[in-house]
């Protein structure tokens, strides 16, 4: 004999304090949560009625489903609508008002019909709601923090803005988790810093939201955001950094919330054509605000100097030595293989020099494209160009993350710590390393028009030609000149080791 089925039904009625909601809009779908089926209907004509019913469930479970649904609808509407009536068999409106979460009351700057991007009946269904349950669980405190930043909680706006900026680190991690190819080069080793994370999200999803800032200098804008955020982590000891003022904080919380919503729409599988026009219309209004226009006009087209002013030059120096070491290694290898007249001692000498150049090349390359915690990691300068770098490598069929792992493995097992099982046959294809350097120079170090590159590939080719000339000249020297050359080299070596000379002028 089957037990008695108990059906619990919860109805929430929502309505703005002033005015009416549009309509008619209506949708119905079912969702399975913890092996229980919840039927959900949303009907809107002037006001919004949300009805959730399920068999043999507790009122806590039904309210939990409502909370999840309410936060999803907030992404569509851009605000929480006040609950005016709660009915679950009896009128429990008063009890609800006592326990409503402060984060579910929207700030006044979020309350406008223009902030609505989606009608729920055009996008909401079982699949979207189930995806939202998974995403919100992964976002965890990140999304709760975002809701507080957009709420009417009595918190200074610069603090709300700082925490809103901070949320983009977690959001970037979520996107990479859902789409591993997103900003994959930033996740080679340690996770990216906040600025790199924000720029990665902005470059992928912020074409509309931050079009004004991108037209000036998105890198400089990102630095302003980071410096504004860093106020919650550091005492005020530097006054020369540009940060957002009070009014700017309010409007950039709005813009950041729009970018946040666009990202989540994409992860939920909601087509952009459903909200794109509304987004653009609202942004036209937001970008007209004096606070926004003044900040955008303050952005310079010049690059932002990195916090470490030597960093870009140090990266270039490492790429230079990598390319030159590669040229020596390959030239010597070609010379050894092609010169049948070399004796065993000569071969041993040139092979040792060749190996040393190879090892130096790999070490220098890994300092730029290896673990993120390297000071000279490539992502730590001009992060706004990294997406272009990623795309260019993808177009070349290069997976930087996988290739970098092979280079690092070769460095660790053959150079830093010799593994007797490793053999030279496991040297990664070095043409790929050269190609990565060349693309990085073009897309990041020379990412702006009229910036003249050093020309790493041209330098590589010319170096090979010159080195081959040197080798031919050395081998053709008379014996007395070879002896003189050896004496000069020994003298220079002794001088450098004693610290007396570092410039080799005595040669």
CA atoms of 208 and 278, how far apart (whole Å): 11
- Half-sphere exposure at residue 2, Cβ-oriented, CA atoms within 13 angstroms: 3
Q: For the segment 175-189, what is each residue's pLDDT rounded down to a tens digit? A: 999 998 888 778 876
CA end-to-end distance (rounded Å), the chain: 102
Q: For the segment 467-479, what is each residue's pLDDT rounded down to a tens digit? A: 888 877 766 656 6
CA atoms of 273 and 411, how far apart (whole Å): 48
Inform me whether the pLDDT recorded for 71 exceeds 90: yes
**Alpha-carbon distance values, 9 to 38, 47, 52, 168 (Å):** 10, 19, 6, 37
- For residue 371, give both structure tokens: 């673990």
CA atoms of 303 and 133, how far apart (whole Å): 41
The set of long-range contacts for 254-258, using a CB threshold of 8 Å and a minimum separation of 24, is 254/109, 254/110, 254/115, 254/286, 255/209, 255/210, 255/283, 255/286, 255/292, 256/161, 256/164, 256/165, 256/167, 256/168, 257/78, 257/110, 257/146, 257/149, 257/150, 257/164, 258/209, 258/282, 258/283
CB atoms within 10 A of CB 458: 12
Inform me whether the pLDDT recorded for 141 exceeds 60: yes
Can you tell me whether residue 378 is helix, strand or coil? helix
- For residue 100, give both structure tokens: 């409503």
- Half-sphere exposure at residue 416, Cβ-oriented, CA atoms within 13 angstroms: 11
Angle between helical axes of 246-267 and 59-77 (0-180°, round to 10): 110
CA atoms of 253 and 401, how far apart (whole Å): 33
Is the separation of the CB atoms in 155 and 250 below 8 Å? Answer: no
Inform me whether the pLDDT recorded for 391 exceeds 70: yes
Domain boundaries, the chain: 155-304, 311-476
Is the separation of the CB atoms in 248 and 256 below 8 Å? Answer: no
Q: For the segment 215-267, what is each residue's pLDDT rounded down to a tens digit? A: 888 888 998 999 899 887 665 544 567 889 889 999 999 999 999 999 999 99
* Model pLDDT, residue 474: 67
- For residue 421, give both structure tokens: 């099982």
* Model pLDDT, residue 242: 83
As a whole number, mean pLDDT of residues 421-426 equals 52
Average pLDDT, the chain: 83
State percent of the chain over pLDDT 90. Answer: 40
Q: For the segment 342-385, what is each residue's pLDDT rounded down to a tens digit? A: 667 777 777 788 888 888 999 999 999 887 778 888 888 877 77
Least confident of 30-44, 153-167, 476-490: 476-490
* Model pLDDT, residue 237: 47
Is 336 or 274 the better-scoring residue by pLDDT? 274
CA atoms of 252 and 180, how far apart (whole Å): 28
User: What's the pLDDT band for 278 if we cut at 50, 70, 90?
Assistant: very high
Q: For the segment 441-484, what is each residue's pLDDT rounded down to a tens digit? A: 888 888 665 566 778 888 888 888 888 888 777 666 566 655 66
Is the separation of the CB atoms in 297 and 217 below 8 Å? Answer: no
* Model pLDDT, residue 41: 96
């Amino acid at each position: 004999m089957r037990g008695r089925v108990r059906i619990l039904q919860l109805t929430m009625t929502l309505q703005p304090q002033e005015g009416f909601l549009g309509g008619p809009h209506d949708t119905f779908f079912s969702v399975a949560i913890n092996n229980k089926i919840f039927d959900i209907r949303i009907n809107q004509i002037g006001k919004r009625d949300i009805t959730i019913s399920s068999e043999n469930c507790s009122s806590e479970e039904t309210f939990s489903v409502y909370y999840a649904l309410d936060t999803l609808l907030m992404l569509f509407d851009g605000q929480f609508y006040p609950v005016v009536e709660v009915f679950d068999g009896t009128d429990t409106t008063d009890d609800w008002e006592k326990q409503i979460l402060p984060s579910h009351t929207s700030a006044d700057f979020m309350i406008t019909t223009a902030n609505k991007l989606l009608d729920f009946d055009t996008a909401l269904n079982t699949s979207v709601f189930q995806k939202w349950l998974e995403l919100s669980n992964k976002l965890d405190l990140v999304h709760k923090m975002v809701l507080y930043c957009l709420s009417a909680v009595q918190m200074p706006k610069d603090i709300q803005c700082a925490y809103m900026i901070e949320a983009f680190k977690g959001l970037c991690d979520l996107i990479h988790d859902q789409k591993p190819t997103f900003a994959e080069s930033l996740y080679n080793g340690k996770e990216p810093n906040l600025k790199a994370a924000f720029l990665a999200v902005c470059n992928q999803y912020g074409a509309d939201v931050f079009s004004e800032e991108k037209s000036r200098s998105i890198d400089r804008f990102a630095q302003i955001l980071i410096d504004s955020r860093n106020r919650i982590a550091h005492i005020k000891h530097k006054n020369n950094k540009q940060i957002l003022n009070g009014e700017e904080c309010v409007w950039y919380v709005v813009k950041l919330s729009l970018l946040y919503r666009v990202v989540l729409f994409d992860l939920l599988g909601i087509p952009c054509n459903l909200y794109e026009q509304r987004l653009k219309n609202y942004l036209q209004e937001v970008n007209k605000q004096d606070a926004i226009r003044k900040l955008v006009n303050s952005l310079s087209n010049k690059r932002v100097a990195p916090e470490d002013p030597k960093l870009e030059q140090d990266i270039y120096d490492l790429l230079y030595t990598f390319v030159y070491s590669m040229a020596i290694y390959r030239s010597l290898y070609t010379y050894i293989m092609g010169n049948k007249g070399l004796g065993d001692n000569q071969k041993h000498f040139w092979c040792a020099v060749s190996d040393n150049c190879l090892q130096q090349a790999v070490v220098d390359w890994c300092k730029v494209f290896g673990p993120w915690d390297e000071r000279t990691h490539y992502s730590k300068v001009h992060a706004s160009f990294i997406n272009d770098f990623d795309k260019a490598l993808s177009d070349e069929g290069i997976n930087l993350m996988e290739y970098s792992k092979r280079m690092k493995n070769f460095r660790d097992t053959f150079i830093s710590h010799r593994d007797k099982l490793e053999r030279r046959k496991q040297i990664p294809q070095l043409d790929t390393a050269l190609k990565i350097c060349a693309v990085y120079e073009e897309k990041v170090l020379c990412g702006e028009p009229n910036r003249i590159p050093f020309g790493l590939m041209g330098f590589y080719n010319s170096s090979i030609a010159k080195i081959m000339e040197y080798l031919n000249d050395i081998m053709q020297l008379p014996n007395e000149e070879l002896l003189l050359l050896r004496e000069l080299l020994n003298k220079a070596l002794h001088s450098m080791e004693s610290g007396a000379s570092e410039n080799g002028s005595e040669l």
